[in-house]
Amino acid sequence: MRQIEIKNCSYTYQPGTINSHQALYDINLAVDAGELIAIIGHGGSGKSTLALLLAGLFVPGSGTVTIGDGNIPPEQLFREVGLVFQYPEHQLFAQNVFEEVAFGARNAGVAEDYLPIKVRQSLETVGLDPDQYWYSSPFELSGGQKRRVCIASLLAIDPGIVILDEPTAGLDAVGKKWMKALISSLNQQGKTVIWISHDMSEVAELARRVIVLEQGRIILDGDTADIFSCEDQLAASGLEIPHAARLVRELKAKGVPIPGKAVTVAGAFNELIAYLGGDSAD
């Protein structure tokens, strides 16, 4: 089932002014229910702008963005598609964590009696102790905790499409591992998940489809393994292939008889174990 369709879209910041800047050109993209998509690209290539278009928060200068059947009123789109901004502080506004997480759910029609239960569940899902943080100001939390609050707000609304703009940026190893598990689990629960990342190993491990942006245009869109086989095109865009992919390709180039196609650590391990003789990582 098609959930989002973007046709021939462009987006210009501050059009018609001296500061006018075209961020997206002729974007065509269709997203089906249940997909797990990573958007990658150099800084300034238009990833966050595309996320805002996908979430229906930006209106394109030309072209069309269709979300769901196209008949959802703009003020109801937040129930279908939730976006966690690149900088969570740009979307936090409430005086305490409870009000922050409850706000969207209340607007989505969750009954007032049920709100505390919903907020509690959402905070637990993102690993924040409800009793400890209920009355905390969201602005006084750490960067990682702020992002968790934004994700909890989104989970309390329970949209079918979740868009996360650089959710692992700035997190420590434990935080990254937790966020990757959350991305997988949201997708396994049936949600369509689109996330933006600069971490190619993370993308290789999780994404089934990868979209590559360069200077406001989609230059590649396809299966993860296929995208990471376009090493020269990625390099021309200032992007590297995952470390594991580089390892197996360099070994193959040096004459080690392995397929050299793996993009994840587990895949590289299996290629090497098959060559050396032993048990696979699966």
CB atoms inside a 10 Å sphere around CB 57: 15
What is the Cα–Cα distance from 175 to 164, expressed in whole angstroms? 15
- The CA distance from 109 to 9, in Å, is 32
- Is 59:141 a contact under the CB 8 Å cutoff? no
Q: Which stretch binds Mg ion (CB under 5 A): 47-55, 101-109, 183-191, 229-237?
A: 47-55
Query: E strands along the chain, which residues?
Result: 2-13, 21-32, 36-41, 62-67, 81-84, 161-165, 192-196, 209-214, 217-223
Binding at 46: pick from Mg ion, ligand ATP, none (beta carbon under 5-8 Å per type) = ligand ATP
Tell me which of ligand ATP, Mg ion, none is bound by residue 44, counting a contact when its beta carbon lies within the kind-specific cut-off of 5 to 8 angstroms. ligand ATP
> Binds 23, which of Mg ion, ligand ATP, none (CB < 5 to 8 A, cut-off by type)?
ligand ATP
**CB neighbours (10 Å) of residue 120?**
17
* Closest CB to ligand ATP among residues 116, 238: 238
Which of positions 64-103 make contact with ligand ATP (CB under 6 A)?
86
- Contact flag: residue 167 with ligand ATP (CB under 6 A): no
In sequence order, what are the residues at sequence separation of 6 or more whose Cβ sits closer than 8 angstroms to the Cβ of residue 238?
A: 42
Q: Which of 3, 12, 48, 168 is the binder for Mg ion (CB under 5 A)?
A: 48
**Where on the phi/psi map is residue 127: left (φ > 0), alpha (ψ -120 to 50), or beta?**
left
Nearest distance from C-beta of residue 176 to ligand ATP, angstroms: 17
Closest CA to 194 of 172, 217, 213: 213
Contacted by 237, from Mg ion, ligand ATP, none: CB < 5 to 8 Å by type: none
Residues in region 9-48 near ligand ATP by CB under 6 A: 13-14, 21, 23, 41, 43-48
Minimum CB distance to ligand ATP, residue 125 (Å)? 26
Contacted by 187, from Mg ion, ligand ATP, none: CB < 5 to 8 Å by type: none
Pick the binder of Mg ion from 3, 12, 45, 86 (CB under 5 A).
86
40 vs 123, beta carbon nearer ligand ATP: 40
Beta-sheet strands, E only, within 145-244: 161-165, 192-196, 209-214, 217-223
Q: How far is the CB of 43 from ligand ATP (least distance, A)?
A: 4
Residue 52 corresponds to which tokens in the numbers above?
A: 């805002």
- DSSP state at residue 35: -
Nearer to ligand ATP, 238 or 278 (CB): 238
User: Minimal distance in Å, beta carbon 59 to Mg ion?
Assistant: 19
**Contacts with Mg ion in 214-253 (CB under 5 A)?**
none
User: Considering only residues 182-201, where is the footprint of ligand ATP by CB under 6 A?
Assistant: none
Which is nearest to 56 in space by CA: 157, 161, 146, 158? 161
- 3-state class of 256 per DSSP? coil
Sites of contact with ligand ATP (CB under 6 A): 13-14, 21, 23, 41, 43-49, 86
Query: For binding to Mg ion (CB under 5 A), which residues are involved?
Result: 47-48, 86
